[in-house]
Amino acid sequence: MNTNMRKYQGTGIGEAVAFGKLRLFRRPDPKAEYLHIADTEGEKARFRQAKALALGQLQELGEHALQEAGRDSAAVFEAHQMILLDAEFDQSVVHAIDSRSANAEYAVRLTAEVFAAKFAAMNDPYMKARAADVWDVSLRLIRILSGTDSRPMPAGEKVILCADDFTPSEAASLNRENVLAFVTARGSAGSHTAILARSRNIPAVIGVGDEFLRNAGEGDEAVVDGSTGEVFINPHGEILKKLTDKQLTLTRKASLLRELKGRENVTLDGKKIDIYANIGSVRDVKDALANDAGGIGLFRSEFLYLERSDYPSEEEQFAAYRKVLEDMAGKKVIIRTLDIGADKQADYFRLKKEDNPALGLRAIRLCLLRPELFRIQLRALYRASVYGNLGILFPMITAVWELEKILAVCGQVKEELRQQEIPFSHQVELGIMIETPAAALISEKLAPLADFFSVGTNDLTQYTLACDRQNPDVAQFADPHHEAVLRLIEISAESARRHGIRIGICGELGADTSLTGTFLRMGIDELSVSPDSILKVRRTVRGIDLRE
């Protein structure tokens, strides 16, 4: 083990310093090639152990899903447990190990192929779809067997998790209860992985470079400074002392900020604004409330679609939306419709590989081209609307006809519910994301059709400055303070004002306190930020005098 101190630099997330041991996340390789195994008894024992572990994981995931999204969602994991407990499945794996002297990974793969083919050949569409479950559960087993567990979430001692990058669905499984911090070799500050880190309040450093992974050892002592983007392996001496002091200062600062709880978001000259929270799951509501969020300004509903093997049903979505609305107890909750595509992918959508995914079939485009997908989500949203104060937000708008089409679909969904005598609120507000230059430039035409605007500065920066938000090599060109980006926000705010609708900012720039004054002067009504940025923005608002 190399005990020399090493330092790496990336983009920091979060005002915190974390000390801990490194854990390297290896992405699973589910190929499960054949290996000749002499000790077949040992191999069978290995299979049984993996099975027990998989059952434990599924149990845990089921409980989690039940809390988060209700019975339907938990049922998926129950079905997976049933497959594992199926005697035929078990016998088939054992038989493959015995008869071929095969390794357990290969035996599981072989069994999965046979079982999945059987299901796929059935006529009943429900049974047909079970083939995907067989694969899902078998891959889980193979990953456990090959020591490449699919979940980056480590069990046991809390660690600093490192990887080349995390997909958004991998990052979604991380939380403060299991990781102290994370470090990625690649990725950029505007990526969804970074955004998740922010909303989960996990300190992180993104894009430290591949050399870090070559030099980092499992179990190495390390420090991650989210405020500067520095990562130290084996820190000692002066540096260690400095970082320990800094951790103490930042913890004190955080507790000072908490003194702002319960205070108003009001400028020195009396202008009140709303500070809302961005969330990615039902579980994030807790953090939003703990930090005094006035509402939810952006619930990225696509995270309900990630980390799973099939579409969430209307019931599951309804349960999740209802829970957020109930937990927020009448405060505004803005739920954004599915924004999948680009970096947020789920295999079961079977999206074609695109040369320029950020410019491709994502977000509202996908919903408009797959009306059934859209209809199910809208039904779930309208049904949940009676449990609170709902706003529905549509992402990636570029043209008036898109919004007209959306409004028509919403009308049809409401009519359908009316006919089925299913209650829904008539106060649901419909808003659009301003996250393309096109939307900002035609905001004057979009405003009469919308109840509110929400500016997505992450994509607005990407599309205005032609900088892929996933690509760290162009990070220095992706300046969200660029006057073109600010001008587009101003144009949108002017349109909103002229048409008497509200405008908020829900992109990461909303939490940039060096711009809070600028935004308020433009007439921005609401800033929606990660839960742990709420009090920081409140403090800034309370120090601004708009008469100056």
Catalytic positions are 192, 506
Q: How far is the CB of 456 from Mg ion (least distance, A)?
A: 4
Our CB check for ligand PEP shows the closer of 159 and 363 to be 363
Q: Which is nearer to ligand PEP, 140 or 336 (CB)?
A: 336
Q: Kindly state whether residue 280 participates in binding Mg ion, applying the rule CB under 5 A.
A: no
Neighbours of 272 (CB within 10 A): 11
Which of 12, 235, 388, 456 touches ligand PEP by CB under 6 A?
A: 456
Angular region, 106: left φ>0, alpha ψ -120 to 50, beta rest? alpha
One of 459, 490, 512, 526 touching ligand PEP (CB under 6 A)? 459
Residue 140 makes CB contacts below 8 A (sequence gap 6+) with 54, 57, 58, 80, 150
Q: Which two tokens stand for residue 89?
A: 């499945």
The residue assigned the tokens 């998790």 is 161
Question: How many whole angstroms separate alpha carbon 391 and alpha carbon 399?
Answer: 20
Task: Give me the 237-266 binding string for ligand PEP, x by CB under 6 A, dash otherwise.
Answer: ------------------------------
Of all helices (H) and strands (E), which one includes residue 211? helix 210-215
- Whole-number Å distance between alpha carbons of 176 and 153: 10
The partner residues of 272 in beta bridges, in order of sequence, read: 266
Q: Who contacts 298 (Cβ-Cβ below 8 Å, separation ≥6)?
A: 276, 278, 279, 334, 336, 393, 454, 506, 528
CA 430 to chain centre: 22
From the CB of 269, what's the least distance to Mg ion, in Å? Answer: 33
Residues between 334 and 373 that touch ligand PEP (CB under 6 A): 339
Cα 36 to Cα 41: distance, rounded to the nearest angstrom: 13
Answer whether 116's CB lies under 8 Å from 131's CB: yes
Task: Compute CA distances 318 → 297, 313, 377, 435, 519, whole Å.
Answer: 19, 8, 8, 27, 34
Q: Side chain identity at 115, as an amino acid letter? A: F
Among 184, 443, 457, 470, binds ligand PEP (CB under 6 A): 457
267 vs 457, which CB is nearer to ligand PEP? 457
| Cα dihedral: 22, 23, 24, 30 (round 10) | 180
Under DSSP, the state recorded for 310 is S
Considering the rule CB under 6 A, would residue 510 count as an interface residue with ligand PEP? no
Shorter beta-carbon distance to ligand PEP: residue 105 or 490: 490
Closest contact distance (angstroms) between CB of 289 and Mg ion is 25
By CB under 6 A, residue 506 contacts ligand PEP: yes
Closest distance to ligand PEP from the beta carbon of 359 (Å): 14
Number of Cβ within a 10 Å radius of residue 474:
15
CA nearest to 432, candidates 420, 444, 419, 446: 446
Task: Name the DSSP class of 472.
Answer: G
Q: Measured from the CB atom, is 220 or 459 closer to ligand PEP?
A: 459
Examine residue 456 and tell whether it contacts Mg ion (CB under 5 A).
yes
3-state SS class at 275: strand
- CA 197 to chain centroid: 9
Task: For residues 463 and 482, give the distance between their C-alpha atoms in angstroms, rounded to a whole number.
Answer: 12
Choosing from 151, 507, 526, 538, the residue that interacts with ligand PEP (CB under 6 A) is 507
Choose one: 313-321, 406-414, 454-462, 473-481; the region binding ligand PEP (CB under 6 A): 454-462
Q: How far is the CB of 191 from ligand PEP (least distance, A)?
A: 9
Q: Residues 524, 493: contact at Cβ < 8 Å?
A: yes
Tokens encoding 307 = 């980390």
Q: Name which of Mg ion, ligand PEP, none residue 225 binds, using a CB cut-off of 5 to 8 Å depending on partner kind.
A: none
Binding range to ligand PEP, per CB under 6 A, among 41-49, 217-225, 303-311, 456-464 = 456-464
The smaller minimum CB distance to Mg ion, of residues 47 and 305, is found at 305
Q: What proportions of the chain, in percent to the nearest 5, are helix, strand and coil?
A: 50, 15, 35
Q: Give the nearest distance from C-beta 173 to ligand PEP in angstroms.
A: 18
Q: What angle do the packed helices 314-327 and 371-384 form, to 10 degrees?
A: 40
Measure CA 57 to chain center: 21
Q: What whole-number distance in Å separates Cα of residue 463 and Cα of residue 458?
A: 9
Asked if 468 interacts with ligand PEP (CB under 6 A), we say: no
Smallest distance from ligand PEP to CB 455, Å: 7
Residue 510 touches Mg ion, criterion: CB under 5 A: no
Element (H, E) at 65: helix 40-69
Q: At closest approach, how far in Å is the CB of 475 from ligand PEP? A: 16
Residue 284 binds which of ligand PEP, Mg ion, none (CB < 5-8 A, kind-dependent): none
Query: Whose structure tokens read 């299991």?
Result: 178
Residue nearer to ligand PEP on the CB measure, 180 or 511: 511
- Contacts to ligand PEP from residues 298-317, by CB under 6 A: 298, 300
Q: Of 35-43, 177-185, 379-387, 451-459, which segment contacts ligand PEP by CB under 6 A? A: 451-459
Which of 260, 515 has the CB closer to ligand PEP? 515
Using CB under 5 A, which of the segments 165-173, 351-359, 404-412, 434-442 binds Mg ion?
434-442
459 in contact with Mg ion (CB under 5 A): yes
| Beta strand extents in 349-424 (DSSP E only) | 389-394
Tell me the site size for Mg ion, rule CB under 5 A.
3
| Contact track, ligand PEP, 180-219, x by CB under 6 A | ---------------x------------------------
- The CB-of-301 to ligand PEP minimum distance in angstroms stands at 10
Taking the complex as a whole, the smallest distance from the CB of residue 278 to ligand PEP amounts, in Å, to 7
Q: Which residue from 105, 220, 316, 435 is in contact with Mg ion, where contact means CB under 5 A? A: 435
> How do 159-163 and 17-24 pair as beta strands?
parallel
Nearer to Mg ion, 459 or 526 (CB): 459
Size of the residue set binding ligand PEP (CB under 6 A): 11
Choice from 458, 492, 495, 540 touching ligand PEP (CB under 6 A): 458
Residues lying near ligand PEP in the complex (CB under 6 A) are found at: 195, 298, 300, 339, 435, 456-459, 506-507
Residues lying near Mg ion in the complex (CB under 5 A) are found at: 435, 456, 459
